Amino acid sequence: MDEFKYVYGPVPSRRLGISLGVSPIPKKTCNYSCIYCQLGRTTRMINHRQLFYPVDNIIAELKTFFQKNINYDVITIVGEGEPTLYSGLGQLIEKLHKITNKPIAVITNGSLLYDPDVQSDLMQSDILLPTLDAYDEKSFKKINRPYSSLNYYKVLNGLEDFSRKYKGQLWLEIMFMKGINDDPNTIIKYSEILKKIKYEKLYLNTPVRPPAEIDVSALDHEKMDHIAEILNGFSIDLLSSHGFYSEIKNDYEAFVSIIKRHPMNQFEIEEFLKSRGNSFPEKFMENLETDASLAIIEYKGYRTYRLK
Ligand code: SF4
Protein backbone atom coordinates (compact mmCIF):
# COMPACT_ATOMS: atom_id res chain seq x y z
CA MET A 1 0.00 0.00 0.00
CA ASP A 2 1.36 3.39 -0.97
CA GLU A 3 0.76 5.92 1.75
CA PHE A 4 1.16 8.97 -0.46
CA LYS A 5 -0.20 9.69 -3.91
CA TYR A 6 1.70 12.85 -4.91
CA VAL A 7 4.68 12.99 -2.56
CA TYR A 8 7.56 10.55 -2.79
CA GLY A 9 10.96 10.11 -1.28
CA PRO A 10 13.03 11.84 -0.19
CA VAL A 11 15.33 10.38 -2.83
CA PRO A 12 18.99 11.23 -3.41
CA SER A 13 19.43 13.42 -6.44
CA ARG A 14 22.76 13.75 -8.20
CA ARG A 15 22.12 17.46 -8.71
CA LEU A 16 19.89 18.53 -5.85
CA GLY A 17 20.96 16.62 -2.74
CA ILE A 18 18.11 15.07 -0.75
CA SER A 19 15.05 15.78 -2.83
CA LEU A 20 11.45 15.47 -1.75
CA GLY A 21 9.50 14.75 -4.93
CA VAL A 22 6.06 16.07 -5.78
CA SER A 23 4.33 14.62 -8.82
CA PRO A 24 1.31 16.58 -10.10
CA ILE A 25 0.68 14.45 -13.21
CA PRO A 26 -0.55 10.92 -13.91
CA LYS A 27 1.77 8.11 -14.94
CA LYS A 28 3.76 8.46 -18.18
CA THR A 29 1.99 11.66 -19.22
CA CYS A 30 4.26 13.65 -21.47
CA ASN A 31 4.54 15.58 -24.73
CA TYR A 32 7.79 13.76 -25.55
CA SER A 33 8.61 10.09 -25.77
CA CYS A 34 12.39 10.25 -25.45
CA ILE A 35 14.38 7.28 -26.65
CA TYR A 36 16.37 7.35 -23.38
CA CYS A 37 13.41 7.79 -20.99
CA GLN A 38 13.92 5.68 -17.86
CA LEU A 39 10.15 5.31 -17.44
CA GLY A 40 9.80 3.50 -20.77
CA ARG A 41 7.73 4.79 -23.69
CA THR A 42 5.15 7.53 -23.06
CA THR A 43 1.68 6.01 -22.90
CA ARG A 44 -0.30 9.24 -22.46
CA MET A 45 0.95 11.64 -25.11
CA ILE A 46 -0.69 15.05 -24.69
CA ASN A 47 0.29 18.66 -25.29
CA HIS A 48 -2.42 20.69 -23.58
CA ARG A 49 -2.24 21.67 -19.95
CA GLN A 50 -4.74 20.13 -17.54
CA LEU A 51 -5.60 20.28 -13.88
CA PHE A 52 -5.07 16.59 -13.28
CA TYR A 53 -5.52 16.94 -9.51
CA PRO A 54 -6.69 19.80 -7.28
CA VAL A 55 -3.76 21.85 -5.97
CA ASP A 56 -5.18 21.69 -2.46
CA ASN A 57 -5.10 17.88 -2.42
CA ILE A 58 -1.37 17.95 -3.13
CA ILE A 59 -0.76 20.62 -0.49
CA ALA A 60 -2.84 18.69 2.08
CA GLU A 61 -0.73 15.59 1.47
CA LEU A 62 2.48 17.57 1.92
CA LYS A 63 1.24 19.00 5.18
CA THR A 64 0.65 15.46 6.43
CA PHE A 65 4.12 14.48 5.28
CA PHE A 66 5.72 17.43 7.08
CA GLN A 67 4.28 16.21 10.38
CA LYS A 68 6.79 13.36 10.20
CA ASN A 69 9.70 15.81 10.41
CA ILE A 70 11.75 14.11 7.74
CA ASN A 71 14.79 15.98 6.54
CA TYR A 72 15.20 17.09 2.91
CA ASP A 73 17.11 19.80 1.04
CA VAL A 74 14.72 20.77 -1.70
CA ILE A 75 11.19 20.13 -2.97
CA THR A 76 11.33 18.96 -6.55
CA ILE A 77 8.30 19.09 -8.79
CA VAL A 78 8.83 16.31 -11.23
CA GLY A 79 6.67 13.44 -12.27
CA GLU A 80 6.31 10.41 -14.34
CA GLY A 81 6.22 12.71 -17.34
CA GLU A 82 6.24 16.46 -17.95
CA PRO A 83 5.13 18.60 -14.96
CA THR A 84 4.48 21.80 -16.96
CA LEU A 85 1.47 19.97 -18.43
CA TYR A 86 -0.14 20.49 -15.02
CA SER A 87 -2.16 23.71 -15.28
CA GLY A 88 -2.14 24.20 -11.50
CA LEU A 89 1.66 24.49 -11.44
CA GLY A 90 1.88 28.21 -10.64
CA GLN A 91 -0.61 27.94 -7.84
CA LEU A 92 1.11 24.84 -6.51
CA ILE A 93 4.51 26.59 -6.33
CA GLU A 94 2.92 29.64 -4.72
CA LYS A 95 1.28 27.51 -2.03
CA LEU A 96 4.43 25.45 -1.49
CA HIS A 97 6.36 28.63 -0.68
CA LYS A 98 3.85 29.29 2.07
CA ILE A 99 4.42 25.94 3.80
CA THR A 100 8.19 25.50 3.42
CA ASN A 101 11.33 27.64 3.43
CA LYS A 102 13.23 25.14 1.31
CA PRO A 103 13.87 25.89 -2.37
CA ILE A 104 11.36 24.71 -4.96
CA ALA A 105 12.88 23.10 -8.04
CA VAL A 106 11.11 22.03 -11.23
CA ILE A 107 12.49 19.38 -13.57
CA THR A 108 11.11 19.89 -17.07
CA ASN A 109 11.77 18.97 -20.67
CA GLY A 110 11.49 22.70 -21.39
CA SER A 111 9.14 22.18 -24.32
CA LEU A 112 6.46 24.65 -23.19
CA LEU A 113 8.68 27.53 -22.12
CA TYR A 114 7.42 29.58 -25.07
CA ASP A 115 3.95 29.60 -23.44
CA PRO A 116 3.44 32.81 -21.39
CA ASP A 117 1.34 30.92 -18.80
CA VAL A 118 4.05 28.33 -18.28
CA GLN A 119 6.63 31.12 -18.04
CA SER A 120 4.65 32.94 -15.39
CA ASP A 121 4.12 29.70 -13.40
CA LEU A 122 7.81 28.80 -13.45
CA MET A 123 8.94 32.30 -12.60
CA GLN A 124 8.02 31.49 -9.00
CA SER A 125 10.36 28.50 -8.74
CA ASP A 126 13.88 28.79 -7.29
CA ILE A 127 15.64 26.28 -9.51
CA LEU A 128 14.65 25.20 -13.00
CA LEU A 129 16.21 22.14 -14.57
CA PRO A 130 15.27 22.00 -18.25
CA THR A 131 16.69 19.54 -20.77
CA LEU A 132 18.01 20.41 -24.17
CA ASP A 133 18.94 17.24 -26.02
CA ALA A 134 18.35 18.14 -29.65
CA TYR A 135 20.41 20.47 -31.82
CA ASP A 136 18.01 20.72 -34.81
CA GLU A 137 14.57 19.63 -35.97
CA LYS A 138 15.77 16.23 -37.15
CA SER A 139 17.55 15.32 -33.91
CA PHE A 140 14.52 16.62 -31.97
CA LYS A 141 12.31 14.08 -33.75
CA LYS A 142 14.87 11.33 -33.34
CA ILE A 143 15.78 11.83 -29.67
CA ASN A 144 12.70 13.35 -28.04
CA ARG A 145 9.97 12.09 -30.42
CA PRO A 146 7.80 15.11 -29.51
CA TYR A 147 4.07 15.67 -29.83
CA SER A 148 3.42 16.34 -33.53
CA SER A 149 2.70 20.06 -33.23
CA LEU A 150 5.92 20.87 -31.34
CA ASN A 151 8.60 22.56 -33.37
CA TYR A 152 12.27 22.51 -32.35
CA TYR A 153 12.99 26.19 -33.01
CA LYS A 154 9.88 27.32 -31.19
CA VAL A 155 10.92 25.23 -28.19
CA LEU A 156 14.51 26.50 -28.33
CA ASN A 157 13.40 30.13 -28.64
CA GLY A 158 11.11 29.64 -25.65
CA LEU A 159 14.03 28.35 -23.59
CA GLU A 160 16.28 31.24 -24.68
CA ASP A 161 13.59 33.80 -23.96
CA PHE A 162 12.70 32.38 -20.55
CA SER A 163 16.35 32.03 -19.53
CA ARG A 164 16.79 35.81 -19.90
CA LYS A 165 13.77 36.63 -17.75
CA TYR A 166 14.17 34.01 -15.03
CA LYS A 167 15.39 35.22 -11.64
CA GLY A 168 16.16 31.79 -10.15
CA GLN A 169 18.94 29.32 -10.94
CA LEU A 170 18.69 27.70 -14.34
CA TRP A 171 20.54 24.38 -14.60
CA LEU A 172 20.50 22.90 -18.08
CA GLU A 173 20.90 19.23 -18.87
CA ILE A 174 21.88 17.47 -22.08
CA MET A 175 21.62 13.70 -22.47
CA PHE A 176 24.43 12.18 -24.52
CA MET A 177 24.06 8.84 -26.27
CA LYS A 178 26.58 6.79 -28.18
CA GLY A 179 26.43 7.33 -31.94
CA ILE A 180 23.46 9.68 -31.64
CA ASN A 181 24.77 13.03 -30.44
CA ASP A 182 28.38 12.51 -29.37
CA ASP A 183 30.39 13.27 -32.52
CA PRO A 184 32.69 16.34 -32.63
CA ASN A 185 30.51 18.29 -35.12
CA THR A 186 27.45 17.88 -32.92
CA ILE A 187 29.38 19.06 -29.87
CA ILE A 188 30.27 22.24 -31.80
CA LYS A 189 26.57 22.73 -32.57
CA TYR A 190 25.73 22.46 -28.87
CA SER A 191 28.37 25.00 -27.93
CA GLU A 192 26.86 27.47 -30.45
CA ILE A 193 23.34 26.95 -29.10
CA LEU A 194 24.50 27.26 -25.49
CA LYS A 195 25.87 30.75 -26.16
CA LYS A 196 22.31 32.01 -26.61
CA ILE A 197 20.97 30.61 -23.33
CA LYS A 198 21.54 32.16 -19.93
CA TYR A 199 22.19 29.41 -17.41
CA GLU A 200 24.14 28.92 -14.18
CA LYS A 201 25.12 25.29 -14.62
CA LEU A 202 25.27 22.75 -17.39
CA TYR A 203 24.93 19.05 -16.55
CA LEU A 204 25.88 16.35 -19.02
CA ASN A 205 24.06 13.09 -18.57
CA THR A 206 24.11 9.70 -20.28
CA PRO A 207 21.58 6.88 -19.80
CA VAL A 208 22.85 5.22 -16.62
CA ARG A 209 19.44 3.60 -16.18
CA PRO A 210 17.76 1.39 -18.78
CA PRO A 211 16.37 3.54 -21.61
CA ALA A 212 13.01 3.21 -23.38
CA GLU A 213 14.72 1.86 -26.51
CA ILE A 214 17.21 -0.99 -26.20
CA ASP A 215 19.54 0.27 -28.94
CA VAL A 216 20.31 3.44 -26.96
CA SER A 217 23.57 3.25 -25.06
CA ALA A 218 25.59 5.33 -22.65
CA LEU A 219 28.95 7.01 -23.25
CA ASP A 220 31.94 5.89 -21.22
CA HIS A 221 33.30 8.05 -18.45
CA GLU A 222 36.30 9.39 -20.42
CA LYS A 223 34.11 10.53 -23.28
CA MET A 224 31.70 12.25 -20.88
CA ASP A 225 34.60 14.02 -19.20
CA HIS A 226 35.95 15.12 -22.56
CA ILE A 227 32.62 16.63 -23.66
CA ALA A 228 32.18 18.22 -20.22
CA GLU A 229 35.51 19.97 -20.68
CA ILE A 230 34.61 21.30 -24.14
CA LEU A 231 31.17 22.53 -23.09
CA ASN A 232 32.29 23.65 -19.65
CA GLY A 233 29.73 21.49 -17.84
CA PHE A 234 29.55 18.80 -15.16
CA SER A 235 29.22 15.16 -16.02
CA ILE A 236 26.69 13.23 -13.89
CA ASP A 237 27.21 9.73 -15.22
CA LEU A 238 27.51 8.05 -11.82
CA LEU A 239 26.18 4.55 -11.39
CA SER A 240 24.43 4.55 -8.04
CA SER A 241 22.76 7.00 -5.72
CA HIS A 242 22.82 6.65 -1.95
CA GLY A 243 20.29 7.75 0.59
CA PHE A 244 16.92 6.41 -0.58
CA TYR A 245 14.44 6.85 2.19
CA SER A 246 10.88 5.82 2.84
CA GLU A 247 8.59 6.35 5.77
CA ILE A 248 6.73 3.11 4.94
CA LYS A 249 7.55 0.40 7.49
CA ASN A 250 7.38 -2.68 5.27
CA ASP A 251 10.56 -2.98 3.15
CA TYR A 252 8.79 -4.35 0.09
CA GLU A 253 6.08 -1.69 0.09
CA ALA A 254 8.69 1.00 0.67
CA PHE A 255 10.71 -0.28 -2.29
CA VAL A 256 7.64 -0.33 -4.55
CA SER A 257 6.67 3.20 -3.56
CA ILE A 258 10.13 4.46 -4.62
CA ILE A 259 10.40 2.61 -7.93
CA LYS A 260 7.00 3.92 -8.97
CA ARG A 261 8.84 7.10 -9.96
CA HIS A 262 12.49 6.28 -9.58
CA PRO A 263 13.84 2.98 -10.94
CA MET A 264 16.51 1.41 -8.71
CA ASN A 265 19.39 -0.84 -9.63
CA GLN A 266 20.52 -3.88 -7.63
CA PHE A 267 23.24 -1.92 -5.81
CA GLU A 268 20.83 0.80 -4.78
CA ILE A 269 18.35 -1.76 -3.47
CA GLU A 270 21.05 -3.51 -1.45
CA GLU A 271 22.20 -0.19 0.00
CA PHE A 272 18.58 0.75 0.77
CA LEU A 273 17.93 -2.55 2.57
CA LYS A 274 21.14 -2.20 4.56
CA SER A 275 20.14 1.28 5.70
CA ARG A 276 16.85 -0.16 6.98
CA GLY A 277 18.54 -3.04 8.82
CA ASN A 278 17.02 -5.76 6.62
CA SER A 279 18.67 -9.04 7.69
CA PHE A 280 17.64 -11.08 4.64
CA PRO A 281 18.58 -9.06 1.57
CA GLU A 282 19.12 -12.22 -0.53
CA LYS A 283 15.57 -13.37 0.17
CA PHE A 284 14.28 -9.92 -0.72
CA MET A 285 16.15 -9.91 -4.05
CA GLU A 286 14.89 -13.43 -4.77
CA ASN A 287 11.28 -12.33 -4.26
CA LEU A 288 11.75 -9.57 -6.80
CA GLU A 289 12.43 -12.16 -9.49
CA THR A 290 8.91 -13.56 -9.23
CA ASP A 291 7.00 -10.31 -8.83
CA ALA A 292 4.91 -9.95 -12.01
CA SER A 293 4.37 -6.22 -11.47
CA LEU A 294 8.09 -5.49 -11.93
CA ALA A 295 10.04 -4.97 -15.12
CA ILE A 296 13.60 -6.25 -14.55
CA ILE A 297 16.06 -4.93 -17.08
CA GLU A 298 19.63 -6.06 -17.63
CA TYR A 299 21.58 -3.02 -18.68
CA LYS A 300 25.29 -2.18 -18.55
CA GLY A 301 25.97 -5.48 -16.75
CA TYR A 302 23.58 -5.03 -13.83
CA ARG A 303 19.90 -5.32 -13.08
CA THR A 304 17.48 -2.42 -12.75
CA TYR A 305 13.92 -2.67 -11.41
CA ARG A 306 10.96 -0.52 -12.32
CA LEU A 307 7.19 -0.94 -12.22
CA LYS A 308 5.56 -2.25 -15.41
S1 SF4 B 1 12.59 11.69 -20.42
FE2 SF4 B 1 11.19 13.21 -19.57
S3 SF4 B 1 10.57 14.38 -21.34
FE4 SF4 B 1 11.40 12.51 -22.13
S5 SF4 B 1 9.65 11.12 -22.35
FE6 SF4 B 1 10.56 10.73 -20.34
S7 SF4 B 1 9.39 12.02 -18.99
FE8 SF4 B 1 9.01 12.81 -21.05
The residue whose CA is least distant from atom 7 of ligand 1 is 81
- pLDDT tens for 255-290 read 888 887 778 888 788 878 888 888 788 889 888 988
Query: CATH no. for residue 23?
Result: 3.20.20.70
Of the pLDDT bands very low, low, confident and very high (cuts 50, 70, 90), residue 10 is: confident
Residue 56 lies in a domain: yes
Pick the atom of ligand 1 nearest to 36's CA.
Answer: 1
Residue 36 lies in a domain: yes
Residue 202 lies in a domain: yes
Residue 303 lies in a domain: no
Residue 206: the pLDDT is 93
The answer on pLDDT for 240 being more than 70 is no
Residue 164 lies in a domain: yes
Mean pLDDT in residue range 36-41: 90
Domain that residue 137 falls in? 7-238
- pLDDT tens for 40-68 read 899 999 999 999 999 999 999 999 999 88
Cβ of 25 closer than 6 Å to ligand 1, yes or no, is no
Question: Per residue, what are the HEC states of the chain?
Answer: CCCCCCEEEEEEECCCEEEEEECCCCCCEECCCCCCCCCCCCCEECCCCECCCCHHHHHHHHHHHHCCCCCCCEEEECCCECHHHECCHHHHHHHHHHHCCCCEEEEECCCCCCCHHHHHHHCCCCEEEEECCCCCHHHHHHHHCCCCCCCHHHHHHHHHHHHHHCCCEEEEEEECCCCCCCCHHHHHHHHHHHHCCCCCEEEEECCCCCCCCCCCCCCCHHHHHHHHHHHCCEECCCCCCCCCCCCCCCHHHHHHHHHCCCCEEHHHHHHHHHHCCCCCHHHHHHHHHCCCCEEEEEECCEEEEEEC
Residue 128 lies in a domain: yes
Residue 139 lies in a domain: yes
Cβ of 205 closer than 6 Å to ligand 1, yes or no, is no
Of the pLDDT bands very low, low, confident and very high (cuts 50, 70, 90), residue 70 is: confident
The residue whose CA is least distant from atom 6 of ligand 1 is 37
Residue 266 lies in a domain: no
Q: How far is the CA of 212 from the centre of ligand 1 (A)?
A: 10
Could you give the number of structural domains in the chain? 1
